[in-house]
Copies of this chain bind each other. A is one copy, B any other.
Amino acid sequence: MSVTTPVIRRLRERAVDDRAALYDLLDEQFVGHAATVADGDPVVVPLLIARDGDTLLLHGSTGAGFVQRARAGGTIAVSVAAVDGLVYARSLFDSSMNYRSAVIYGVPEIVGPDEAGAALDALSERLMPGRVAEVRPSTRKELAATGLLRLPLEHWALKVRAHGASEEEGDGEDRGVWAGVLPLGRSWGVPQTSPLTSAGTPVAPSVLARAAGR
């Protein structure tokens, strides 16, 4: 193996012990992939996620079976990732992605009926900031039908790659080939009004704020 370019290689990928960075990732992402074990086999389902203080709320109609298994106790693992860019190195081997990824481990608690209202509000505030104040309160029946789990943010691992292309010296790359990063982000589209909405009703302020990137 040829001589390593130390500064670049050192930063190639790193575990990050930074709770603020973890929270930023969780607050930005909508979906986590929650793994359990069923009869010895792995099961994984996407769930809505929302951080609530030092816990992670998990919600998903797709996860009905998941919630049943979680009710039985036992550890789950939740993976959350954001792709921030494609890294075009001058070899396929060194090509990569910029990303942030977290895995959280723990035994989730079922959110009980007494707590469900506050938890659903917290989930909504994270995903659709300001929306709680625009809609009617949740009914008791709705809260009873809401399957929310709460996972403490105690055991987690965060990995971040956030730098440019890297390569080892002497590996034969052609310096005339472009290397760099193509950043990737998300973008909100134009709000699509439902036919349920009364004619003339303006787009809700919470939606406009979301669309503006806030």
Residues of A participating in the B interface, judged by any CB pair closer than 8 Å: 1, 13, 30-31, 33-37, 40-46, 48, 61-62, 75-79, 81, 83, 85-86, 88-93, 95, 97, 99, 101, 103, 120-121, 124, 127-128, 131-132, 134-136, 138-139, 141-142, 145-146, 159, 164-165, 167, 171-198, 201-204, 206-207, 210-211
A75 lies within 8 A of B41 (CB) = yes
A210→B189 CA distance, assembly (Å): 20
> Considering the chains assembled together, what is the distance between the CA atoms of A177 and B40 in angstroms?
48
Contact pick for A194, options B46, B165, B197, CB 8 Å: B165
Q: Which residue of B lies closest to A34 (CB)?
A: B44
Q: Which residue of B lies closest to A195 (CB)?
A: B164
Contacts of A101 in B (CB 8 A): 46, 62
Bound state CA distance, A203 and B174, in angstroms? 14
Q: Which of B95, B127, B196 contacts A179 (CB 8 A)?
A: B196
What residues of B have a CB within 8 angstroms of the CB of A173 in the complex?
A: 135-136, 196
- Beyond the given A37-B37, A180-B194, could you list 12 further A-B residue pairs with CB under 8 A, ordered by the A residue number? A13-B61, A31-B81, A35-B35, A41-B75, A88-B207, A91-B136, A93-B142, A95-B128, A136-B173, A173-B196, A177-B204, A183-B189
